[in-house]
Amino acid sequence: MAKRFIPLKKVTPPSKDDVEIVDKMDDLAWYVPRKTKHNKTHNILSRSKMTSVETQTLYFMDPEMRYSGFVQMLYSNVMGGIYKGFQINFKIFSPKKELESQYGIWESVKLDSTVSFQDDELTVKGANVTFQFRDPKNVSKKITGEEEEGDDDTQHTTFIANLKIKINDPSKGLMMDLRCSLGEGFKISPDGCSFYLDKSTPDEQSTIINNVHSFELKHRYMRHQFHPVSQIFGIIKYNNGAEKKPQLLKLQHIPMIYLDAVQGILPNKAAKRWNFLYFQSKNYKILAIEYLTIPKFDSTKVTIWSICEKDEIKYIGSDINNDNIIKFNSVEKDKENGWEYPTEMTFNFSDNNNNEITPFHVEKLNLVNRYDILGELPSIVKSLAKSIANIKPYLYQYCQPCKYKDEEGVSIIESTFIS
């Protein structure tokens, strides 16, 4: 059967035959502008009028369950270089409704043109921002300049890189000085990529898999890389709420996950739906991501997931067109846009012997953010996007206390509807 979408490989635990372990700092370099071993650029944008977006995102959760959030660096290259630029997306929300007004904030900051890639794409730097991967063995100072408690060589043996994030934007009242220790990660073969083909082709997945770089240059792609065992420490200052009250968060080795995602295709063509889960408790960590391609690209559902126990990745799985992994048990219709967003969800997992791994279930989802993705565009541009591309993208974001195997934790769940 001819296809226009070639998904990444299927992985059913405990098999790891098609799991690529990420255990070198160089693997964390920004993907879009990097050079391959064949001295060819991954950046297909330089060869065509295409668009690519790469995000490097860290999600974190306070173990006392007061707040959760994410920090995201986003790089856009639009229409083959007509526009290139970085922005920071920053969100804090509380799993407890009574604390949401105290901690809640969403900021998107477009960075000026002085910001650029440096150090073989391991660093993004400008006048007021640093986003830099470093060898953890060379990091031995606290943000204050003093020796960090417990920061010795033995502490870093399980970490492959340290990420330094410094942001100072007085206009937004935003300041960050963070250090993130990133553990071993993974991506699904080939190189975390699925491919969107220009023309229908017979199902010769193995050929494409074995020639990933050459096909990558000719066709559009989606790519994901995950680092579920990581931690963050440092400080975040921001103004929140209607009264813009100053807020100071002191993060002390808080657990987090790290995701590198690339769309080498316009977002509305890459997928029509997205789902995302991050659950964290003392001993368990669950990560799941799922997207559904548009009919032009075969209406294919791709799901990737992992479960960690005591900071060890125990299960890694991926599947194609499996409607049972992420399920909406109940929904509510948004009267403004017509989307039926979830109010109760279940995440199901299994291994090679058809043994069910304990599912994750959340009732009465706590909606902390409903975001009109086109909302910040001028009204005429927004209207054109909706009419020409037939899209009305909305993000529904949830955060709440919940349990896995009777252990208390916190979950962040996102459902995005595009077309």
Write down the pLDDT at residue 297.
93
Separation of alpha carbons 348 and 325, rounded Å: 5
- For residue 14, give both structure tokens: 């405990």
Write down the pLDDT at residue 144.
33
Domain boundary assignment for the chain? 3-417
Confidence of residue 110 (pLDDT cuts 50, 70, 90): confident
- Under CATH, which architecture does the 3-417 domain have? Beta Barrel (2.40)
CB-based contacts of 145: which residues, under 8 Å, 6+ apart?
A: none
**What number is the average pLDDT over the span 127-145?**
71
Q: H-helix or E-strand containing 200? A: strand 193-201
Separation of alpha carbons 300 and 359, rounded Å: 23
Q: Which residue's structure tokens are 């007021």?
A: 128
Confidence of residue 283 (pLDDT cuts 50, 70, 90): very high
Q: H-helix or E-strand containing 101? A: helix 100-103
Question: Considering just the CA atoms, what is the radius of gyration of the chain in Å?
Answer: 21
pTM > 0.95: yes or no: no
Q: Would you tell me how many other CB atoms lie within 10 Å of the CB of residue 252?
A: 11
